[in-house]
Structure 1
Amino acid sequence: MKYLVREKAFAVGDDYWVEDEDGRHAFLVDGKALRLRDTLELRDPEGRVLITLREKVFSLRDAMELERDGRRLALVRRKRMSLLRNHFQVRMADGTDVDVSGRILDREFKVEYEGELLALVSRQWFRVRETYAVDVVREDADPALLVAVAVCVVRMAEKEREGA
Structure 2
Amino acid sequence: MYVIRERFFSIGDDFDVMDEHGTKVFHVDGKVLSVRDKVVIEDPSGQEVATLHRHLVSLRPTYEIRIGGEKAAEVRKKLFTPFREKFTIDVPGPDDLEMKGDLLDHEYVIERGGEEVASVSKKWLTIRDTYAVQVAAGVEPLLIIGAVLALDLALERDKKKDEKDEDD
Q: Given the two structures, how large is their TM-score scaled by the length of structure 1?
A: 0.89
1:117-149 residue CA offsets vs partner (Å, 9 max, x unmatched): 11110001234442000011x211111211111
Q: Give distance in 2, aligned partners of 1:40 and 1:51.
A: 9
1:53 positional shift: 0.3
Q: Deviations over 1:84-118 (max 9, x none)?
A: x3210011023431101111110111111001111
Deviations 1:28-60 (A, max 9, x none): 111125532110011111111111000011111
Cα deviation 1:63-89 (Å, max 9, x = unaligned):
000112332111111014333x32100
For residues 42-53 of structure 1, the aligned pairs below 5 Å read 42-53=41-52
The alignment yields a C-alpha RMSD, in angstroms, of 1.8
Q: Aligned equivalents of 2:28 and 2:108: distance in 1?
A: 20
Moved more, 150-159 or 53-62: 150-159
Conserved in 2, the CA contact under 8 Å of 1:8 and 1:16?
no
Aligned residues, how many?
Answer: 161
Contact 1:8–1:14, Cα closer than 8 Å, also in 2: no
Question: Is there any run of 5+ residues in structure 1 with no aligned partner, and where?
Answer: none
Is the strand fraction higher in 1 or 2?
1
Partner residue in 1 for 2:81: 81
Q: Quote the Cα distance in structure 2 between the aligned partners of 1:63 and 1:76.
A: 6
Structure in which a larger fraction of residues adopt helix: 2
Q: Is the 8 A contact 2:10 2:156 kept in 1?
A: no
Q: Which runs of 5+ in 2 are unaligned?
A: 163-168
TM-score by length of 2: 0.87
Distance 1:68 1:99 in 2: 19
**Which consecutive aligned stretches of 4+ in structure 1 deviate over 3 angstroms post-superposition?**
none
Distance 1:9 1:141 in 2: 25
Name which of structure 1's ranges 25-34 and 58-67 shifts more when overlaid on structure 2: 25-34
Q: In the alignment, is the contact (CA less than 8 A) between 2:67 and 2:142 conserved in 1?
A: no
